[in-house]
Amino acid sequence: MPEVADANFSPKIDSPEEKLLRRLKTIVNGYLDKEQVESIIRAYSFGADSHTGQFRKSGEAYICHPLSVAITLAEMHMDTRGIIAAILHDAIEDTPATKEQITDEFSQEVADLVDGVTKLTKLDNKSHAETQAENVRKMLLAMAKDLRVIIVKLADRLHNMQTLGAMPLEKKRRIAKETQEIYVPLANRLSMNSIRHQLEGLCLEAIYPHRYRAIKQAVKKARGNRREIVNTIENSIKNRLNQTGLIFDVAGREKNVASIYKKMQRQKISFSKVFDVYAFRILCDQDDDCYRILGCVHNLYKPIPGKFKDYIALPKANGYQSLHTILMSPYGMPIEIQIRTHEMHRLAESGIAAHWLYKSKDTSGDTARARATEWLRDLLEIQKTAGDSLEFIDNLKVDLFPQEVFVFTPQGTIIKMPRGATIVDFAYAVHTDIGNACVSARIDSKLIPLQTQLENGMTVEVITAPWARPNPLWLNHIITAKARSSIRNYLKNFKQQDAINLGRRLLEKELKSLSLKLDNIDESRIVQLLDVMKMQAMDELLEEIGLGNKMPLLIAKRLSQQDIHAAVKLEDTSTEHAPLIIKGTEGMVITLANCCKPIPGDSIIGFFNPGKGIVIHHHQCHNSSEVRKKQTSWIDVEWSQEVSGEFSAELRIELLNQRGTLATIASTISSLDANIESVSMADQDDKVSIDLITVSVKDRVHLATIIRKLKKLFIVLKITRVKT
């Protein structure tokens, strides 16, 4: 018996979700088989049931958002599992559905993809910035296992940006800034330019709505004024290329608002001065054809010097390939021409997604995928050494904004580096161990300092030494995330081990004065002490002593008492103790004071600087008298008989003010096997110049030899060592 329709029932026709589902089915039917399409429809049913009763700020059913994300991926011809993951990407986070359910219903692969995109929800006592940093870090680690995670996330962020209208203004700007800082450069790094351009425009519209509207209106107005000129130029290019017999496509395109705005900001010009609002893209079949077409257009219109870039021979870090040139048209209007093959164009638009998009036809996506995978390997290395998520995000941002220079190894291998990178960045790019041990370098066979910035075409040979280690000052010059994280990690571990070694020496020194040895103290007493001090291991206590946070005398007295819990009285802190022997190679926890610059042979004193270790001063330094007042924080120290290395000493020299005096001083110091670290002028008149010169010396005897030699020069009126 046929069912009778209820007169009060009006079926839901063409709801937004149904329209979106119909559109999705139309797209996937074009490249997937029937069984795969059915699994996508089943995923929609699962997602729609899970999101039942949920609505977006705009008022539409929540399932419309995952469907829109899936449509973006379908237009890129993403595989079935990628599209299913897009439909379910919010299911674990926002619905009762679990990862196990998705695994049972679809597959482990789909569940892992969904989990990779899912935010971390249980982040108690974290700021918004830390929460976002943790979420990005989690996403990138998942992306290292499966690149589709980031493709789904970028499509998700694109639709979120497209539907910001219902959000409060402040939230709009916050989301747009986060997109601008993380997701736009990520899309660029992965060569997904189609999504990148859309995100850039949406970010500009959300952050600067008035500027966006003004530029858009100006572009619309210019479009009418320049249409005839643009058509004439396009026809001229086509006519010229037709004479060559090459197969090609020419398309004029209008630059997007965000690109125009960035150019106006970069060059500090108004819109009226932006002439290349229109650009032309020429697509051909073969790499060689690109260069033939380049010659043709250069014969047609004069190229502007310095504006040609060959990204085919030297692709960008994200795999982008194309020839770029800017020509001066007969109308006085510069025009930009991009020349690339069809495969290069697909790669430029889809990036890593091209691996799935054209998987059955060619391997055009493999280049981007290989480069992305290589970058992710570096990213994983960086995240392992990053202290926290915020530091990781800072390193990531550095890595996401590269402008490349190309340099060569001595073997002729080309290595890409960000513009502004130094020798140290290069050394770490070759290998972490080479970076840690580098001491100097040769560029084109000439010795140069490590802070030298790289330039295109340089041949760089890094010089290493087995005794070398990273210098904290390198952090002021380097710009790559890999170098920064490697140096920080090395210094952190190195300082920790140095602190433990120094702490052991200091504690053993104090125990010796009490006729005790650390190795002979009963293990139970050490466990009791660690329990009282709320520490897990002896190394932790030794590190605190070495860093100056715990006094070794107090710890030694506690270990000597029967009752560990008893308070320690320091009745006699002036007892004669053997001084701590300083070799000058203790690392980062024993530092030489910059105010007096003590050198081997000087009478010295040390004091504990909490968190940093022991700072060594010259006895005559005015700061040492202040140190002595704090009886519990200073320590007797003296130089070892076997001191190695070089030490800084400062000289105050009064010179005759005449040409060549500094050159004479420098050559004299150099002849005595010493280096000048810095020179500054303290005072000067017509006759006399007073200079402060910092030199590197081995010890006090070496310095005395230099002073005697300088005193014999007729240009030196007076010379003294600065000790305070």
Residues with a known catalytic role: 93-94
> Is residue 322 within 8 Å of 312, Cβ to Cβ?
yes
Question: How many residues in the chain?
Answer: 724
Strands 404-408 and 634-639: unpaired
The radius of gyration of the chain from alpha carbons, rounded to an integer in Å, stands at 34
Q: Which DSSP state fits 567? A: P
Distances (CA, A) of 372 to 33, 178, 187, 375, 381: 29, 22, 11, 5, 14
- Tokens describing residue 306: 């310095």
Laid out side by side, the sheet with 675-684 consists of 675-684, 688-697, 647-656, 716-722
Name 540's Cβ contacts closer than 8 Å, sequence gap at least 6.
Answer: 530
Angle made by CA atoms 579, 582, 585, in degrees to the nearest 5: 160
3-state secondary structure of 644: coil
Q: Kindly compute the dihedral angle of the four CA atoms of residues 699, 704, 709, 712, in this order, to the nearest 10 degrees.
A: 170
581 has which bridge partners? Answer: 638
Name 266's Cβ contacts closer than 8 Å, sequence gap at least 6.
Answer: none
- Tokens describing residue 160: 């979120």
HEC profile for 21-56?
Answer: HHHHHHHHCCCCCHHHHHHHHHHHHHHHHHCCCCEC
Instruction: Of 606, 612, 603, give the one whose Cα is nearest residue 630.
Output: 606
With tokens 């000493």, the residue in question is 649
3-state secondary structure of 475: helix
In whole angstroms, give the CA distance from residue 553 to residue 545: 10
In whole angstroms, give the CA distance from residue 101 to residue 98: 5
* Segments of 294-369 assigned E as strands: 302-303, 309-310, 323-328, 334-341
